Chain A
Amino acid sequence: QKEVEQDPGPLSVPEGAIVSLNCTYSNSAFQYFMWYRQYSRKGPELLMYTYSSGNKEDGRFTAQVDKSSKYISLFIRDSQPSDSATYLCAMSGPLGNRDDKIIFGKGTRLHILP
């Protein structure tokens, strides 16, 4: 089993829909959970960051972490064509721990249809 699993998509949804992006992981030591957005021909940019379990909201974006299920989600409300990008989940363990390297998912390609 890979450390981080993420469906590569592509995922196409109409403008205004709610988007749900997900990752599963196998390493229970992971404590830091991140979502990056990567536009075509650009580097990834940090979108959301969550420590341990729970929800975090930032505008139209909500990140959820369920450590008991080893499952993280990113929700995008009122999706816009400008949200079309590849979304990478990433996670890591405690600093100084052998698991403190950031592990990335493969990314999900999202297309928002006007």
Chain B
Amino acid sequence: TQLLKQSPQFLSIQEGENLTVYCNSSSVFSSLQWYRQEPGEGPVLLVTVVTGGEVKKLKRLTFQFGDARKDSSLHITAAQPGDTGLYLCAGEMTAGNKLTFGGGTRVLVKP
């Protein structure tokens, strides 16, 4: 059973469209991270959120941590082909503990 469930598992959209990826759990996390992984490479950290209700923006990407620190979302505005990749959320239940990863969401942005 996965502690962190991501949805959808796969998303295919046209360039210019918006998309949202969700990361949900029944457990509380002290922090949550989002990574993007491109084919043949390792995951690369995009953002870390630590405070319930926190919203962080990274250019066209908006990350939100739920008030109860059990869920998070990643919203991409005006997606571009360069946004194509596997998006992974990862949570830490206790500060200084291990990261638990979600199952990932594959995003394909078609030109």
A binds B: no
Residues in chain B within 8 A of chain A (CB atoms): none
Residues in chain A within 8 A of chain B (CB atoms): none
